[in-house]
Structure formats: C-alpha cells, structure tokens
C-alpha cells in the first residue's frame, strides 16, 4: 500500500495496490500491523457504513471524549472528504485538507484524533465506510459549521446548491466557539 502525506500534520492518504483482470479485482484495504506502523494510532475498534444521496453534507464532526481517529473510504460513488486540525499545539491548527474519495480511485484517508471530519456527496449516491479508534459517544459529539468563514473550506458544491444538512449540522458551532484540543 502506498502512503502519502498531506498538507496537514499526521493526516495520510492510503492508496491500496489493486490487482485486477477480466473477472474483477482484489485489494487489501487494511492490515493492523502496517496501519499501526504508519500512524502510531490506537487499534481500530468500530466499523461504520453510511449511504447518502447527492448534495448531503455530513460534518464537521468530532468527539471531545472518546476521541476518534478514522480511516475512511468510499465503496460506491464519490465524496469530497475533509479533515480540520483542532490541535492547538499543531503548526496546522485551524487548517483543512480535502480530497475526492471514490469507489473508482479507491483511496483512503486517515483522520487522526484531534481533527474534525466531514464529507459531501458528489455522485447520485455514495456509500461511505470508516473504521474508528474508539466507539461513538453521542454525548460528547461536536459539530462545527460546514461553511465557517475562518476555516474557509472550498466545498465543490454540485450546481452551486447549498448542501442538505441534518438538524444537528444546521445548528453547528462556529470554529471560534468550538472546543479544541491541546
């Protein structure tokens, strides 16, 4: 598996080797020893799978307790995936990184603990799969506004239409008011 650094400290792109022929393909998407060696992260303990329609934006989410690192990928369709550094001690604090993840490019993004995460669905539908370093803890979840001007994420909105947001994300916190990490 090829591992690439991004513009954010500790956020990595994993590109699996794909072996294919007329029958289909095979790829290794995760191996604990290699992943641990590359990231130094805690073991991954929970898998999640969501399906969303075009124009849905989920995020920017993180947990204050039971913080989660996430290894994310798309198994159907495509999304624009974003990580925002919330670690005050980091030289990339408050900065974002985004890239397209799709079933076609088969990339994965490692979003460590201490980052907010979100994605926007570009295709008609997308199935998003991710592994986490801790369990979902809704009592400590925070949502930062997707369009916060101090972060200034350049979301590639389909037909320049505003995204479809959950009620939680419609009432998200401004970055300046959001709790961050040391």
Domain range list for the chain? 2-17+26-177
CA 32 – CA 46 distance, rounded (Å): 13
**What's 2-17+26-177's CATH class?**
mainly beta
Confidence of residue 113 (pLDDT cuts 50, 70, 90): very high
pLDDT on residue 168: 95
For residue 60, whether the previous peptide bond is cis, meaning omega lies within 30 degrees of 0, is yes
Name the percent of the chain lying above pLDDT 90: 100
pLDDT on residue 9: 97
Confidence of residue 152 (pLDDT cuts 50, 70, 90): very high
Q: Region 144-153: what's the mean pLDDT?
A: 98
Among candidate residues 24, 66, 30, 22, the one with its CA nearest the CA of residue 47: 30
Query: What b/e string do you get for 16-33 counting C-beta neighbours within 10 Å, with b at 16 or more?
Result: beeeeeeeeeeeeeeeee
pLDDT on residue 21: 94
pLDDT on residue 11: 98
What letter would DSSP give residue 153? -
Active site residues: 61, 130
Q: Region 41-67: what's the mean pLDDT?
A: 97
CB 14 within 8 A of CB 3: yes
- Sign for the pseudo-dihedral over CA of 44, 77, 8, 177: negative
Summary mean pLDDT of the chain: 97
pTM of the model: 0.96
pLDDT on residue 117: 98
Name the percent of the chain lying above pLDDT 70: 100
pLDDT on residue 3: 98
Q: Region 150-159: what's the mean pLDDT?
A: 98
């Amino acid at each position: 598996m090829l591992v690439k650094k991004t513009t954010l400290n500790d956020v990595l792109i994993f590109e699996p080797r794909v072996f294919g022929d007329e029958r289909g393909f095979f790829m290794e998407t995760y191996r604990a020893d290699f992943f641990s060696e590359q990231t130094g992260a805690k073991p991954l303990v929970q898998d999640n799978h969501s399906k969303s329609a075009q124009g849905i934006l989920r995020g920017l989410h993180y947990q204050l307790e039971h913080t989660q690192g996430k290894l994310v990928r798309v198994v159907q369709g495509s999304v624009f995936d974003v990580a925002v550094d919330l670690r005050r001690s980091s030289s990339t604090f408050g900065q974002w990184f985004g890239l397209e993840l799709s079933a076609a490019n088969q990339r994965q993004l490692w979003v460590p603990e201490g980052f907010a995460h979100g994605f926007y669905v570009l295709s008609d539908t997308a199935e998003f799969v991710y592994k986490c370093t801790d369990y979902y803890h809704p009592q400590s979840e925070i949502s930062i506004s997707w369009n916060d001007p101090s972060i200034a994420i350049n979301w590639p909105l389909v037909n320049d239409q505003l995204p479809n947001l959950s009620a939680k994300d419609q009432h998200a916190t401004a970055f300046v008011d959001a709790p961050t990490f040391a």
